[in-house]
Structure 1
């Protein structure tokens, strides 16, 4: 039997724990599963946590400057277009500006920043049968325009 790794969670340093919780809970839709004065853990679907937030080394700190190494973005998978549309409506209602959006052939994704300047991708995968492939069977991902409003229109 072959085993393969999966990604379990991302842990982020934040400057303001309450502000970060409000973003990941109220806008992106994660549930707080545990919280202390300096850290919080948020998950979805009953999982212990997909996101860890802490102020251990970053209380009231500023984001790292552009052009430095670090996390480019964390990506959060939504189960379908309607769910992605729902979260995009909350993003818009909160006045959060999108950095970009793209149809990658395999997925539809939008990009933004959390309150601490961390890159965030919100996306949904297309059914694997629709993924574009080269004649040799390898993926042929694209970077095409995405109609974000059309996805938001699918929100219940």
Structure 2
């Protein structure tokens, strides 16, 4: 029998190799709003939401001044940041639009609504919220049917008002 990870298990944090710490902080701290928990000089910063020790570590230990990782190579596809409500996702969408920060995509997955963008180093970032489970699409056999449909950005933005 194979091992099954406990249901309460969650991913606590991600460490990203970045080429310029201040440029990354302009994105993650100033634009997205993560709080700085600790800074290690010009080499690393740990940031979080709500006082957790860190959700994201940014470091230049092996990447200072380097270009982005190749798109067509193994590596991190994206970091997914889960917002508690649809309104919270709408607020960050409004901030991104006001800052003229480019989105690479926006999707309704049936179970969630998601915004996609790249950080300054080309690392993929997904900003999303989960719909209530009773709204998730299931087929006749009870199997989850995730989809990728166009997200109604105008409808989402109305939530920010």
With normalisation by structure 2, the TM-score equals: 0.91
Question: 1:149, CA displacement in angstroms?
Answer: 2.4
Unaligned ranges ≥5, structure 2 = none
- In the TM superposition, 1:5-154 aligns within 5 A as 5-37=9-41, 38-154=43-159
What SS class does the counterpart of residue 149 from structure 2 fall into? Answer: coil
What SS class does the counterpart of residue 111 from structure 1 fall into? Answer: strand
Q: Distance in 2 between matches of 1:99 and 1:117?
A: 11
What SS class does the counterpart of residue 150 from structure 2 fall into? Answer: coil
Question: 1:153, CA displacement in angstroms?
Answer: 2.4
* CA displacement, residues 101-153 of structure 1 (integer Å, 9 cap, x when unaligned): 11000000011000110000000100001000012212111111101122122
Q: Distance in 2 between matches of 1:79 and 1:124?
A: 6
The structure 1 residue matched to 2:6, chosen from 3, 9, 12, is: 3
With normalisation by structure 1, the TM-score equals: 0.94
Question: 1:31, CA displacement in angstroms?
Answer: 0.8
What SS class does the counterpart of residue 96 from structure 1 fall into? Answer: coil
Name the stretch that deviates more: 116-125 or 26-35: 26-35
Q: Distance in 2 between matches of 1:146 and 1:90?
A: 17
Q: Distance in 2 between matches of 1:78 and 1:26?
A: 17
Number of aligned positions between the proteins = 155
Instruction: Let me know the Cα RMSD of the aligned residues.
Output: 1.3
* Kept after mapping to 2: 8 A contact 1:109/1:122: yes
* Kept after mapping to 2: 8 A contact 1:29/1:87: no
Q: Distance in 1 between matches of 2:131 and 2:75?
A: 29
Q: Distance in 2 between matches of 1:142 and 1:35?
A: 40
Runs of 4 or more off by more than 2 Å in structure 1?
Answer: 2-5
